[in-house]
Amino acid sequence: MESRFDELESQIQEIGNALRGLERRVVRLEGGGAAEEPKEPAEPWSPAPAVGGTAKGWLPAMVPLVGRALLLLGGAFLLRALTDLEAVPNVLGLVLGFLYAMLLVLAADRSAARPQGAMAANFYAVVGALVAFSLVVEAATRFELIGVAAAAAGIGIAAGALLALASRRELRTAAAAASLGGGLSLLALLRSFPEPAAALIVLAILGLAVLWTCDRHSWRPWKWSSALLADLGFAIFPAGIASGRFTTEPDLATGLLLALFTAYVLLFSARSLLHGRSIGVFEVVQTLFAGVVAFGGAWRIAGADALAPGLTALILGVAAYSVAFSRAVRHDRRRSFLFFTSLGLALVGVGSLRFLTAEHAALVWSVLAIVCAAGSARYRRVTLSLHSTVYVLAALLASGLALAATAGFWMPDPASWPEVDSAQLAVILALGICLVIPAARSSQSWGWLSLMPRAALFLFFVWVAGGALLAYFAPRYLGTGGDVDAGALATSRTGLLAIAALLLAWLSRRPRFVEAGWLVYPLLALAAFRVLSQDILAGRPVTLFVSLALLGASLIASARWLHHDRAADDEP
């Protein structure tokens, strides 16, 4: 404000000089002689600098403000003393004290409207916050004049008035007082009441209101403090219920916890869709913290079989995918697309486990893997290709196929291997379909990592398809228990790896399956390791001949195919 007054002063002075120059020229043209030159003032006039407007003046300006703040606090204590002496009824003293605090907030607003009044406004706002929050907390916890609902409402009103002041006059200190003072006061109520639902509701609303205010004015620190205080309060809540400290009904407690996470997700979605805001570090961290607090606490209170957490996760997961594929987010903001798709992936996975058995969840995830692969091909998004790979891996683990495949490659006795059922075969089929779909494989932001999801799919396919073949044929043709042919089993495993490397080298000659070539040499190295560590020890001359022949043929053919492709690429 001071710089604007200085600029206005200089402009007025320039206009005056120009007018005097015009006057002299007019006099000369009319022949009336030279106009008397006005004497320039020895020093341009400038208004007396406001106290506190310079670096040297901030201390003289602050000293009277500190004194004024002490007097205002003294007035609050005077009212408290009158109440203690029963000169004023307790309830009336509480009301007068709260009105006194609100008058201080109003004084802060009036001071901020005046030039150079920001410092005084900040002092008034801080003193008003101290009076209001301490008064309400003490009235509720020490004197027990009001309950938790009335106390939470009073804190909410005071914090709302401070946030309105901060937004109207752009006072960061008022926003900080609302965020820290209001949040800590609400946490103090949790320690004194067995039914803290009202305090938690106001705590969540305060966090959202501070976030909205800080976003409007680009104030970063205070949205972190209010959100973390809300997370802390909601984290204490289920622990208190489990210990018997809080008496809130389980259904209400679960609803409050899920409402916190839902509110933040909906707010972040609205900011991205309506206001075009990109997702940043705060949104990622707060979603993670709120999600862990909400779902962890809800399942702790209601049990693993509770319906509400799983249903909420599924609904919000579908909503997150919908936001990610909206026109604004899909085309313009890469970080937002990655955030909402990842959120959808996590929530759908968590929610589906509540309603489905592991076998059925594996089938659903297999279908979702195909859908994500098709979406990656349709929208050219590597992120969806990664989601397809994650869903495939989840299906492999949930169906037990990962364990069965690992047993086929490593466990010595086929009698102890898990059997491969029809559901597991369906998962393998879904994996093969994902490999055939031409998912996105190039992205400027991903770079060479764009090929990694499909390379992982090839690795999964070799792992589970090879393990399934061994699990089917070995118990039937190689014996079980003490009758197992260890040499033939070792040769079967080595030969399967060698043939898989050969097939991958052949597939890599086609542009769609170029990632398959990355696995050729690692598979051949693994096959050679098995020959040295297993086949030689357990095999016979015939089985060793088969192992070495298959490995040698695969080395020659694979190297030729891979070298042929490289030479073809180098041709002009």
Please write the tens of the pLDDT for every residue from 107-146. 889 888 888 778 888 888 888 898 889 889 988 988 788 8
Residue 367: burial class (beta carbons within 10 Å; 0-12, 13-18, 19+): middle
Residue 12: burial class (beta carbons within 10 Å; 0-12, 13-18, 19+): exposed
**Using an 8 Å Cβ cutoff, are 528 and 519 in contact?**
no
Average pLDDT, the chain: 82
pLDDT of residue 26: 57
**Which stretch of 179-188, 324-333, 505-514, 520-529 has the lowest confidence by average pLDDT?**
324-333
C-alpha to C-alpha distance for 551 and 505, rounded to whole angstroms: 14
Highest mean pLDDT among 31-35, 90-94, 196-200, 535-539: 196-200
**Which stretch of 64-78, 237-251, 339-353 has the lowest confidence by average pLDDT?**
64-78
**Which stretch of 76-80, 247-251, 413-417 has the lowest confidence by average pLDDT?**
76-80
DSSP string computed for 385-411: HHHHHHHHHHHHHHHTHHHHHHHHHH-
DSSP string computed for 79-117: HHHHHHTTSS-HHHHHHHHHHHHHHHHHHHHHHHHSTT-
- Tell me the average pLDDT across 492-501: 91
pLDDT of residue 405: 87
Place of tokens 């055939």: 436
Output 491 or 35, whichever has higher pLDDT. Answer: 491
C-alpha to C-alpha distance for 80 and 71, rounded to whole angstroms: 14
Query: Up-side HSE of residue 245: CA atoms within 13 Å toward CB?
Result: 11
pLDDT of residue 410: 80
Own/partner pairs, 307-311, CB within 8 angstroms, 24+ separation: 307/354, 308/254, 308/255, 308/258, 309/254, 309/258, 309/351, 309/354, 310/350, 310/351, 310/352, 310/353, 310/354, 310/355, 311/351, 311/354
Q: Of 452, 538, 534, give the one whose Cα is nearest residue 497.
A: 534
Q: Of 112, 168, 161, give the one whose Cα is nearest residue 136.
A: 161
Q: For 401-434, give one letter per residue: b (16+ CB within 10 A) or e.
A: bbebbebbbebebbeebbebeebbebbbebbeeb
The amino acid that residue 71 corresponds to is L
pTM equals 0.76
| Helix (H) or strand (E) run with residue 70 in it | helix 58-84
Please write the tens of the pLDDT for every residue from 22-58. 667 655 665 554 444 444 444 444 444 443 444 444 5
pLDDT of residue 561: 84
> Any idea how long the chain is?
572
pLDDT of residue 439: 86
Q: Of 165, 152, 37, give the one whose Cα is nearest residue 106.
A: 165
pLDDT of residue 166: 93
**Distance (Å) of CA 551 to CA 405, 485, 504, 540:** 21, 20, 14, 16
What pLDDT band is residue 463 in, cutting at 50, 70 and 90?
very high
